[in-house]
Structures are given as C-alpha cells and as structure tokens.
C-alpha cells in the first residue's frame, strides 16, 4: 500500500501552514490524492512532488493562478520545469551575491573612512539604465499623455521605489521564462497571465496603458537591439516571445 502523510505531517515537512495546504486544495492547485474514512486529507508521494513544484514557482514570484494554469496544462513536464526553475534561481542567487558583495564593499569603505563613487555604489543594479533613453523616449512619445504621466510619476520615486520596480519586473520576466521553457505558445494562459502582470506593472508604476502603447512597447523589445540584448539575457528568444504575448494581450484588451 502506498505511503501517505497527513496534512499536519506535510505542513511540518514543507515548512508551510496547514491553512496554506487547505487553500491550495480549495483553489485546485494541490488536492490530496486520498482521504481517510473520516474525510481527513492524505498526501501521496506524487502530491509531495507537486507541492515541491508549487513552492519553487512561488519562490520565483508566480501567483497561484499562474502556477495552476502551468501545472494543470496537459503539456506540463516536471523535469523541464525543474530545469527552468534551477536556471532562474541560479540567476537570482548570483544577483543576491552581487548585492551582498556591494553591501560588504560599502561597509568596508565606511570603516576605512573612504567615499565610494556613484558608479561603485550602483554598479550592482545593472547597466541597463532607463534614464539613458530619456531623450529617445521624449522624441518617440513626448507628445503623449502616457509620456507625461510616466515622467511625472517617475520623478517622484526614490531608491526604494526603483528597487521595488526592478524586483517586480524581474518576477514578470521569470513568469515569461517559465511559460517559454514550458513550451507554452505566446497566446496560452501562462504567457497571457505574464502579459497581464506586465500591463498591471506599467499601470501601477508608470502610466495607464492602451492596447496600442502596449503592443508598441513589445515591438520596441525586438526592434531595438539594446532592449533585445537585455531581455534575451534571461533566455534567448525571450524578447520575441514577450512581444508576441503582448500583441496577443493587446488585441484582447482592445476588443
């Protein structure tokens, strides 16, 4: 007879709460494979494997509805997904190591009584500086309400705001990578959920998108090699994949 575990045992094993496991069951993400005669949940080995996958996706910042769409797809491949998660987590780990090293260098400079240059302080946050494209953005969109709104809002952001924006953007990129690596078409639910997150990200931080602006931004990702190079660093072909997903989402948003 296959070994099973109670909900309490699984909660302790995975480091999550019983309430979380009940919620995963309620939303159709992790229904237990068995129950006792009294109706209590029992989890099998396959259930534990699925829970591990869910927690890995959560660590990458995916929402439960996105995880459910990906994992309930008939084409879902656990090995393929784990390999993609490994690569994304390695990228995140390297980035955290870089940030930790930057903090350590700053502390050492403070102890020595020396002053770091601006370049030294912020080099860890990447060389893709949106400010470098201000003149180009003004030329392309300077007469639009969206540009005015974006410029006004961005001017009010501090360092912590930009860090939050960067972290949220990284999570959106991770969602696109998971969909791409999972063999999802750009029009499939997982990719469209990532596109929706991108739309909401723009709406939350910069401007109120329109279908035309959103599709145009996707075109820029492919037509401008600087954007393409930056986006494809996460996965070759990601810029084109994002553009296709954004175009499809924009068509739906305009209907």
pLDDT on residue 82: 79
As a whole number of angstroms, the distance between CA 229 and CA 29 comes to 35
pTM of the model: 0.55
Find where tokens 């599709």 sit.
Answer: 215
pLDDT on residue 209: 84
Under 8 Å between Cβ of 25 and 51: no
pLDDT on residue 135: 47
- Cα–Cα–Cα angle for 140, 143, 147, rounded to 5 degrees: 75
Under 8 Å between Cβ of 15 and 40: no
pLDDT on residue 123: 54
Structural domains in the chain? 5-54 (1.10.1660.10), 125-254 (1.10.490.50)
For 160-208, give the secondary structure using H, E and C.
HHHHHHHHHHHHHHHHHHHHHHCCCCCCCHHHHHHHHHHHHHHHHHCCC
pLDDT on residue 144: 63
- pLDDT of the chain, 255 residues: tens digit per residue: 689 999 999 999 999 999 999 999 999 999 999 999 999 999 999 999 999 989 988 887 778 887 888 888 787 788 877 777 777 777 777 777 776 776 777 677 777 776 655 555 555 555 444 444 444 444 555 456 666 777 777 777 776 777 788 888 888 998 899 889 888 899 998 899 999 999 999 888 888 888 988 898 899 889 888 888 888 988 899 999 999 999 999 998 876
Q: What angle, 0 to 180 degrees and rounded to 10, lies between the N-to-C axes of helices 45-59 and 18-26?
A: 100
């Amino acid at each position: 007879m296959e070994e099973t575990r109670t909900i309490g045992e699984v909660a302790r094993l995975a480091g999550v709460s019983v309430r979380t496991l009940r919620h995963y069951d309620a939303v159709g993400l992790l229904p237990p494979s068995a129950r006792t005669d009294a109706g209590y949940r029992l989890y099998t080995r396959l259930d534990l494997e699925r829970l591990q996958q869910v927690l890995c996706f959560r660590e990458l910042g995916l929402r439960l509805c996105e995880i459910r769409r990906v994992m309930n797809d008939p084409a879902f491949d656990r090995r393929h997904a784990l390999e993609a998660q490994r690569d994304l987590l390695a990228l995140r780990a390297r980035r955290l190591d870089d940030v930790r090293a930057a903090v350590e260098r700053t502390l050492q400079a403070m102890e020595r009584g020396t002053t770091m240059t601006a370049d030294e302080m912020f080099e860890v946050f990447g060389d893709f500086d949106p400010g470098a494209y201000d003149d180009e953005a003004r030329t392309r969109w300077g007469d639009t309400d969206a540009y005015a709104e974006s410029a006004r809002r961005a001017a009010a952001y501090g360092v912590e705001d930009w860090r939050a924006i960067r972290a949220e953007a990284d999570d959106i990129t991770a969602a696109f990578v998971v969909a791409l690596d999972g063999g999802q078409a750009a029009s499939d639910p997982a990719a469209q959920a990532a596109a929706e997150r991108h739309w909401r990200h723009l709406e939350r931080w910069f401007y109120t998108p329109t279908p035309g602006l959103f599709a145009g931004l996707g075109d820029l990702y492919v037509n401008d090699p600087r954007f393409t190079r930056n986006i494809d660093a996460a996965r070759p072909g990601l810029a084109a994949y994002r553009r296709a997903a954004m175009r499809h989402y924009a068509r739906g948003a305009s209907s």
